[in-house]
Structures are given as C-alpha cells and as structure tokens.
Homo-oligomer: A and B are copies of this chain.
Amino acid sequence: MMRTGIGILGPAGTFSEMAALKWVGLKRMNLETEVEMRYYDTILDVSESILTKEVDYGIVPIENSLEGSVGETLDVLSGENAEPGTQMQIVGEILVPIKICLLALNNFERVKKVVSHPHALAQCKRFLRARCKDKEVKPVDSTAVAAKQASQSEEIAALASETAAAEYHLRIIEENVQDRDSVTRFVVLSSTNMRTAPTGRDKTSILIYLKDRPGALYDVLGEFAHRGINLTKIESRPSKRAMGDYMFHIDCEGHIEEEAIKDALAGIKKRVAMLKILGSYPMAEGL
C-alpha cells in the first residue's frame, strides 16, 4: 500500500499538526495505515523536505487573523532558496481556530509553574493575570514542549492545544483561555505537477514582480477588476534587492481553468517583470 508522508512543524501536538489532521480528514485518508507525519524544526526545513520528495506534502502556517502573514512561508513560496528545476505548488488550505487550553496532569491547585511558547503566553495575558497570580510563568520553545514538561510533573501546567493534551495524556483544566480569538490559515504544499481539479469554489495564488513605473500595481489589479474577479488577499514582501523594492502575493477567487482567470493571468503576464503561479486549490471551509 502507498504511504503518504506529510511534513509539518514539530514536535507532535503543535497547531500545525491540528491542521494536518484536519486535512487528512478532509481527504478521507486513514491516519493509521496511510499517513506518516514527519516533524521539522523550521518552515524552511519543511519546504526542503517537499522539494527533495522526503514527504509528499508539507503543511505550513501562512497567516493568522491577529498577527498577519508568516514572512518565512511567503519567502519559501517565492522559491528563492530552491534549487533550479525544483518547484512546488499550493494544493490546499486549512483554517485552524487557535484555541489555547490550560493543561495539567492533575489538579490545578498543585501547579506551581505555568509554561508555554512566548506567543501563547502573550495571547493569554489576561487569563494569567486573573488565574495564575500565585504561579511562576516561564517561556519555553513551543506549546508542545510545554505540554511535554507538564506531562512530567504535576507541579507544571502548560498553555497548549487540545491535540497536545491528547498527545501527552494531560487533563484540560480550562479551554479557550486566549484573550482574543484568532484563526490561523495553513497552506498545503506539494512538489507534484498534478493540478488540483476545479471544485466550483476555488482560489488561485500568484506572485508578481512589477515593472518600475507609477501605476504598475493599479494596471495589474485592473486585470482582475475589469473581469469582476474578487481578490481575497494582496500582500507585499521585500524583494530583498533594496529597501522599498517589493514583490506582491495576490490571491483571487476562481480556478486557473476558468476562462476569466486564464485571461486575467495572460493580461498580467504582459504587464509585469515576473509572474509565478503558485497554485489553484479549493478554498478552505469557513472563508
């Protein structure tokens, strides 16, 4: 039987793993017999594992509804670190609500120290102030590391995901302890050339580098506007050539096999210095 390898940010129990599990469910894959999760330290490592075909898919965070875009993922998509001849495309996207839970082995009364990733601690400031005044609060490398530490001592509690609770056999003392709700969008990357088939509710992602003249971006956006194509995102990233020099990541509604999208992209190609099609894929549920 064919096994599918999925590369994600590790260790087990991160929000990336929740995204991967959700995608495995959507694809009706069987976790026990068909799918193997592989854990990597950085987004760049995940992307390299895709390009070298160590894994079939990589799933990485691309934006959070409070924090904004993940620059490392946008840079990986631009392919600047990739060997010539290798390439990857976006074949899917997944939304994961960031639900932070307080986890411990036993009773919270026995806990003396609360640990988590600095971002998670920052996102739960109000909760920590209200409920953890008498405890020590300490940053660690990831929410999953925090859960691991909590699983080793009943004096330690972790702020981490539900998945981490299951992974490290911890009790969920309280859920949704974040100050503000947020959602993280993940993209599924693959080095396959096979195009994802249209579903009727798709998105297309492109990357462009403009010619240097006033109105260049305006003209590109006109190719979408004149065809009534809705943009779902436009994001600038440094071209890394000089301060003030940018590339643009643009997401629009529609599939590259639709006439309107095909025409718009052909029009854009004539107007820009570089156009890269990053993929056409089904829009995440909840968008």
Contacts and interface: CB of A to CB of B under 8 A. Distances in A.
Contact of A215 (B183, B225, B237): B225
A224 interface: yes
A230 interface: yes
A68 B63 CA distance: 14
A25 interface: no
Residues of A contacting B: mostly: mixed
A240 B71 contact: no
Given A243-B183, A246-B233, A287-B244, A67 B218 contact: no
A185 interface: yes
A286 B234 CA distance: 27
A52 interface: no
B233 A224 contact: no
Within the oligomer, what is the number of copies of this chain? 2
Chain A: interface residue count, which band? 35 or more
Contacts of A68: 71, 236-238
Nearest to A241: B65
A216 to B, nearest CB: 9
A229 B213 CA distance: 10
A95 interface: yes
Interface string A54-72: 0000000001111110010
A231 interface: yes
A238 B66 contact: yes
B236 A235 contact: yes
A65 to B, nearest CB: 4
A153 interface: no
A221 interface: yes
Contact of A234 (B225, B232, B233, B236): B236
Interface string A126-154: 00000000000000000000000000000
A219 B222 CA distance: 9
A65 B246 contact: no
